[in-house]
Amino acid sequence: MPIDCEFLGGGHEVGRLAILVKTGKAKVLFDYGMSATDPPKYPAPAPPIDMMFLTHSHLDHCGMIPWVTARHDIDVIATTTSKKVGSILMEDSIKVAASEGYPEMYGKTDVKQALGRFRDIEFGDTVPVQDMQVRTHSAGHIPGATMYELVGKRTTLVTGDLHTLDTRLVSGAKPVKCDNLIMESTYSGRNHPDRLKTEYEFLKKVHEVVDRGGKAIVPAFAVGRTQEMLLLLKDSKLDYWHDGMGKSVNKVYLEEPQHLRSAKRLRQAVSRGREVKNFQARQRAHDGEVIVTTSGMLDGGPVVSYIEAAKEDPKNAILMTGYQVEGSNGRKLLDTGTMEFHGVVEKVECEVLKFDFSAHAGHDDLVAFAKGCSPQKIVLCHGDHREALAEELRKEGFEVLLPMNGEKFVL
Ligand SMILES: [Zn+2]
Ligand SMILES: [Zn+2]
């Protein structure tokens, strides 16, 4: 039986993922995200569907779910971690839209209604939808991130965002045998430096900054990266603080220990550090040795005021921990040594460095994962330069499809 598919978003780009899949009687949607770019980008409108599946709680996967559940009478399948963290991000995106003057795509009531439609799953569960069975697996990307396997005569695996190596926060994903593999390709053509080496260099730099009398400001995404940084700092003797939206995510992760590599270690990492709970604490955190805070790309959040207070002293350092998208304040700082503070561009005298703590599989990891799944057909998505990976996979004998958004394809 043919499986009809279409990317409503996130096919030939990183962000706003939405995959429409029709097989037999069932029509389902995997993810319905938004790209928090300037202006934000949304997927094409979702048609009526039977059910939707959420791979994980990053905004480019979950950001537009309330829009779907406000229009269609459907359930949303997700892990409890994805639901709880997703609700934090969806509510935050309403505030961001309001503060930046973009039209609100949904309101608080829509988020509440969406959350009422979530149905919890655990890895290993099978969800029936019409004549289809969908099995769940860990995607290793962030806690609770899920891959979905459509079980049938021909089996299709949807990876969502994927990481195959163990990080301090989550264990890597394992390949699943399938006939069709719909795989993310963010790092097509690029590999990450050795993780342990990056961790070592990061900690060495933090110590160097502190020894010279400065402080290290560590901008980190709230979901995944903040916790990864706290786990890394835990074993040091450093005086580290944490602030911003990552604090709420810490709480969710500790409530859902089943999705963590070690809940005990995360609990220790959170309690060993000092959480900024109020204004007075924020003042004291300015005098700490390390501060881990949002936003990861310096577009708002407490990080801006921490940098503002630190910016004139070259002994201080800003240590980026993630990809800085074109047009972000973080990219501006890396490229020009200046950034925007409440609408005014100013010079930053601190040392600025970037470390690769990505939660996505690199090029070689993706090739190895695909080989482990041994499919006949591979569809690459969630990538803006998919060709490098496609070329290598074709050499390995796989049939590779690179559909554009809006292009219908059959598996
Ligand atoms: Zn993600
Ligand atoms: Zn993503």
User: Ligand 2 center to residue 122 CA distance, Å?
Assistant: 21
pTM: 0.96
pLDDT of residue 154: 92
**Which residue intervals of the chain bear CATH 3.60.15.10?**
3-190+359-410
User: Ligand 1 center to residue 58 CA distance, Å?
Assistant: 5
User: Ligand 1 center to residue 8 CA distance, Å?
Assistant: 17
Average pLDDT, the chain: 96
The SS3 call for residue 365 is helix
224 neighbors 200 (Cβ within 8 angstroms)? no
* Ligand nearest to C-alpha 223: 1
User: Ligand 1 center to residue 141 CA distance, Å?
Assistant: 7
pLDDT of residue 386: 98
> Hey, how many other C-beta atoms are within 10 angstroms of the C-beta on 189?
16
3-190+359-410 folds as: Metallo-beta-lactamase; Chain A (3.60.15)
Give yes or no for residue 409 having a pLDDT over 90. Answer: yes
Task: State the sign of the Cα–Cα–Cα–Cα dihedral 328, 10, 359, 128.
Answer: positive
Give yes or no for residue 1 having a pLDDT over 80. Answer: no
195-354 under CATH 3.40.50.720, yes or no: no
Give yes or no for residue 33 having a pLDDT over 80. Answer: yes
User: Ligand 1 center to residue 216 CA distance, Å?
Assistant: 26
pLDDT band at 152 (very low <50, low <70, confident <90, very high): confident
pLDDT digits (tens, 9 = 90+) for 38-87: 889 999 999 999 999 999 999 999 999 999 999 999 999 999 999 999 99
pLDDT band at 236 (very low <50, low <70, confident <90, very high): very high
pLDDT digits (tens, 9 = 90+) for 279-289: 899 999 999 99
Residue 25 burial by Cβ neighbours in a 10 Å radius (0-12, 13-18, 19+) = exposed
173 neighbors 162 (Cβ within 8 angstroms)? yes
* Ligand nearest to C-alpha 89: 1
Q: How far is CA 7 from CA 29, 33, 297, 301, 409, in A?
A: 10, 12, 27, 32, 9
User: Ligand 1 center to residue 223 CA distance, Å?
Assistant: 9
**Which residue intervals of the chain bear CATH 3.40.50.10890?**
195-354
* Ligand nearest to C-alpha 140: 1
Cβ density class 140-162: b for 16+ within 10 Å, e for less: bbbbbbbbbbbebebbbbbbbbb
For range 362-376, the mean pLDDT: 98
pLDDT of residue 366: 98
| DSSP structure string for 204-268 | HHHHHHHHTT--EEEE--TTTHHHHHHHHHHTS---EEEESTHHHHHHHHHH-GGGSS-HHHHHH
User: Which residues are in the CB-under-5-Å shell of ion ligand 2?
Assistant: 60, 161
Cα gap 95→101, rounded to integer Å: 10
User: Ligand 1 center to residue 61 CA distance, Å?
Assistant: 7
Of all residues in the chain, the percent with pLDDT exceeding 70 is 100
pLDDT digits (tens, 9 = 90+) for 113-142: 999 999 999 999 999 999 899 999 999 999
30 neighbors 9 (Cβ within 8 angstroms)? no
| DSSP structure string for 111-150 | HHHHHHTEEE--TT-EEEETTEEEEEEE-SSSTT-EEEEE
* Ligand nearest to C-alpha 57: 1
Give yes or no for residue 21 having a pLDDT over 80. Answer: yes
pLDDT digits (tens, 9 = 90+) for 315-346: 999 999 998 988 899 999 999 999 999 999 99
Return left, alpha or beta for 220; rule: phi > 0 is left, psi -120 to 50 is alpha, else beta.
beta
Which of 6-15, 97-106, 357-366 shows the lowest per-residue confidence on average (mean pLDDT)?
97-106
Record the tokens describing residue 142, joined without a space: 């962030």
The amino acid occupying position 385 is H
